[in-house]
Structure 1
Amino acid sequence: MSSKEPVLEIQGLCVDYGLGANAVQAVRDVSLTLHRGEVLGLAGESGSGKSTLAYGLTRLLPPPGVISGGKVIYHQPGGDPVDVLRLNDAGLRAFRWAETSIVFQGAMNSLNPVHRISTQLTDVLAAHQPGMSRAARLARARELLKLVGISADRLDSYPHQLSGGMRQRVMIGMALALEPQVVIMDEPTTALDVVMQRQILRQLVDLRERLGFSVLFITHDLSLLVEFSDRIAIMYGGRIVEEAPAAQLYRDSLHPYSDGLLHAFPPLRGERRELTGIPGSPPDLRSMPSGCAFHPRCPKAFDPCGSELPLLGVPVDRPDESRTVACWLHPGA
């Protein structure tokens, strides 16, 4: 179960691609808090900045990506908070996998095709726990496979000998090898069929309840987040435009973009409804629209939307501190 205690705080994070006047700002002043034991969903169309945010907060940005502002505060159990963006190489190496791990989008691309599963699992343990014996590492590898529902005899398999769902579960097991406090999942089920998606996510939720880690779950499929997340943040044009408890967002979304995403998939329960898309395309980050970035596609846009940027805040017409929105239909306090 989640608590109100923060484990990871993103404060005003900005990420650019390139330098100087030609820099493209992919993440714009994003602030999010992940609480201990919570599943926080992050949704948005491709190009909205979701993966860039994940790679920025873990300092895994490929060139020419640079972090141009903000803080990422990690609250380590029993220790002082640390700013991940200020860690030296040794501190960063200790932070990754041991405190925060990441499950990447393509499991086949993340696993080395020429090494057996046993080698890849034990290499993680050898790198971070050099004092661990080979027998202990193999025992832990078997335990990790069992944890994610895979028979231990698959340790001798190569990645191509496993199904897509099994490869993804191996990656989840690898992410849990050092018992991290935070697991970041970047579109982990995109290439899988819907049955396998649900199986893996139910297993993930079960593991979260047993082990107590927190999850930042990134996807373009809002239907998955509604079903499995505690809270959901919606991202558009590099900014957070709405954040609310999952059930509340599903029943009563405030931002027109959130509403458009919700009407792009069939309802989970109740009467059938017509599916509608969102007209137009996501904004070009090199030439963002003035005012609200969504206004050129928004069916409810009015005068201030095209000229003034709405700030993320608690809506004055819905004074509920559990949700925030950046929309002139519901201006913030």
Structure 2
Amino acid sequence: MTITSPFGQPFGDPLGLPLGQPDVRTPALTPVSDPVLEIRNLSVDYGYDGDPVHVLRQVSLTLERGEVLGLAGESGCGKSTLAYAATRLLPPPGLITGGEVLFTDRDGTTTDILRLNDAQLRASRWQDLAIVFQGAMNSLNPVFRVGRQIADGIRAHRPEVSQKEALERSAELLELVGISPDRLRSYPHQLSGGMRQRVMIAMALALDPQVLIMDEPTTALDVVMQRQIVEQIADLRDRLGFSVIFITHDVSLLIEIADRIAIMYAGEIVEDAAARDVYQRPRHPYSSALLHSFPPLRGPRRELTGIPGSPPDLSKLGGGCPFRDRCAFAFDACSKVNPELVFPDVPGDDPRRSVACLRHDPAAVRAVGEQPLPVPPELSAR
């Protein structure tokens, strides 16, 4: 199948590799599914006064083609750092210390984003992977009209496109996200918060990316506007076929849009499962606590319960499970070993579900000389 640009012309090389540069792409492994993005053992440190803080610790995620993957967790758990590291936009003092970010094109070719040189990265960014930044008002230039900002982004990657063609494409993009083309001449401050967020989505879609990473796209919007943005993203995904990583601290919002949800805590993934399973049958104590701390967007009201304590200081993490001091199901082994993701042995569970909790990993408990405890009913409901 020939992939065409927004202007009807066939794209060239998917990465636009410059002549004379080595091709770092490697043949894709034969997958059991159809992954478009695989993050493998990604680690990030923030260096402060020679004493680095381990913000991400060997995080692994797989995004399937056409899937919406929700990434949830409290502020400071590393969600945004993961987004910026995966797109090579991590600012100093952040430093990627290990891992791979593998993008698989439609033709089956796999590229490690972390190994691209600058020219290859510019060709890949916004065409293969695009990102919608947190805070639309801070991302848009206040002194330029939104039409010019969209058009400038297009021409920066497609210099052969005329200004007239770029503005025409900008008008099409605004219509695509439900904004009148008349708004091309508006300045950011003349738009509502929801409209500014839609402009950012339009800019991210300008080059037909295959993966869209959205960092808190509904922050500072009211509940009605949040719902509209979520519905808009779901509709665009269905129409255009891109994949989405949707980052938020509000796990109840993800139930509305995500096919699968990964829960982050203290720089690690603690649960990864189908959205319905996370919502109805959470297996990790933190997932369960997080769900009960937010009101649902639909259905009857319910009493909210806060999570006791505070997230740990990442600069002072020792051994053991980082959630143990806030966990109602912690036991002695939790202070001795940091649990790894395992597939819980719960009848009827999705076999792809993974959980990092010692209640589901008796082998790790025995390895430190402790006696495993049974999985409590709250973490094993069918």
Same fold (TM over 0.5): yes
* TM-score band w.r.t. shorter chain: over 0.9
CA contact (8 A) 2:230 2:256 kept: no
Identity %: 65
- Provide, for residues 177-208 of structure 1, a one-character-per-residue CA deviation record: whole Å limited to 9, x for no partner: 00000000000111100100000110110000
Structure 1 residue 290: Cα displacement: 2.4
Partner in structure 1 of residue 207 of structure 2: 178
Shift of 1:167: 0.3
Tell me whether 1:16 sits opposite 2:45 in the alignment. yes
Equivalent in the alignment of 2:114:
85
1:303 CA drift (Å): 1.5
Cα distance change of structure 1 residues 186 and 11 upon mapping to structure 2, 3 Å threshold:
same
Task: Tell me by how many angstroms 1:269 deviates.
Answer: 5.3
Structure 1 residue 266, shift from structure 2 partner: 2.6
**TM-score normalised according to structure 2 size:** 0.84
Query: Is the Cα contact below 8 Å between 2:342 and 2:360 reproduced in 1?
Result: no
Match of 2:332 among 279, 303, 316: 303
The answer to whether the 8 A contact 1:41-1:232 is kept is yes
- How far has the Cα of 1:271 moved from its partner? 5.2
> Which stretch has the larger CA shift, 49-58 or 77-86?
77-86
Letter in 1 for 2:279: Y
Matched, 1:44 2:69: no
State the one-letter code of the partner of 1:123.
Answer: D
What residue number does 1:328 align with? 358
Task: List per-residue Cα deviations over 1:265-284 (Å, max 9, x = no partner).
Answer: 23455554321000011110
1:206 matched to which residue of 2? 235
| Residue 54 of structure 2: aligned partner | 25
Q: Counterpart of 1:177 in 2: which secondary structure?
A: coil
The one of 151, 154, 157 equivalent to 1:122 is 151
Aligned length: 331
In our comparison, the structure showing a higher alpha carbon Rg is 2
User: Match for residue 281 of structure 2?
Assistant: 252
Partner of 1:109: 138
Structure 1: gaps of 5 or more residues = none
Distance 1:154 1:283 in 2: 45
Matched residue of 2:141: which SS? coil
Aligned equivalents of 1:295 and 1:63: distance in 2? 31
Name the SS for the 1:329 alignment partner: helix
Paired AA for residue 326 in structure 1: A
RMSD over aligned Cα, in angstroms?
A: 1.6
Match of 2:102 among 54, 58, 73: 73
Alpha-carbon distance in structure 1 between the residues aligned to 2:318 and 2:278: 26
Question: Which protein, 1 or 2, shows the higher relative CO under an 8 Å CA cutoff with sep ≥ 6?
Answer: 1
Q: Which segments of 5 or more consecutive residues in structure 2 lack a partner in the other structure? A: 1-31, 364-382
Distance 2:297 2:247 in 1: 20
CA distance in 1, matches of 2:44, 2:270: 17
Q: Distance in 1 between matches of 2:195 and 2:301?
A: 34
State the secondary structure of the residue aligned to 1:195: helix
